[in-house]
Copies of this chain bind each other. A is one copy, B any other.
Amino acid sequence: MHALLIIAHGSRRAESNEEIKALTAQVAMRANKHFDLVDCAFLELAAPLIPDGVNSLVERGATSIVVVPYFLAKGAHVRDDIPEAVALAQAAHPDITITVSNYFGAADIVPDALTELAIAAAHP
């Protein structure tokens, strides 16, 4: 079973974490031909944390997991913290294939999306 795990930073504000869960549900609908399981986890400040998110997917039958860092910049979280957490999860589940995608801010579509948002704001 193929799984997708969206990793967000996590916030002390419950609303921000709920935003991520709502986004995850939207992605799940769009990606259901490619992923049997779609969930989110947080680097810090909110549950589930990355190890718990991976464990939960494995318990539900995931055999491969694509991890997508939902971050805009290649800061320490993207460069160090997420790969480290994923490496630990991989060591705990050696039979599962875990792949980390590029972070969201590097996606080719981001300049288009930002342009679209700006133009919409200029012509309300």
Contacts and interface: CB of A to CB of B under 8 A. Distances in A.
Interface of A: 2, 4, 6, 8-9, 11, 13, 15-16, 19-20, 23, 26-27, 30-31, 34-35, 64, 66, 68, 70-75, 99-102, 104-105, 107, 109-124
Contact of A116 (B35, B66, B109, B115): B109
A34 to B, nearest CB: 5
B122 A66 contact: yes
Contacts of A34: 118-119, 122-123
Nearest to A68: B118
Task: Pick the most buried of A64, A112, A119: most chain B CB atoms within 10 A of its CB.
Answer: A119
Contact of A109 (B35, B99, B105, B109): B109
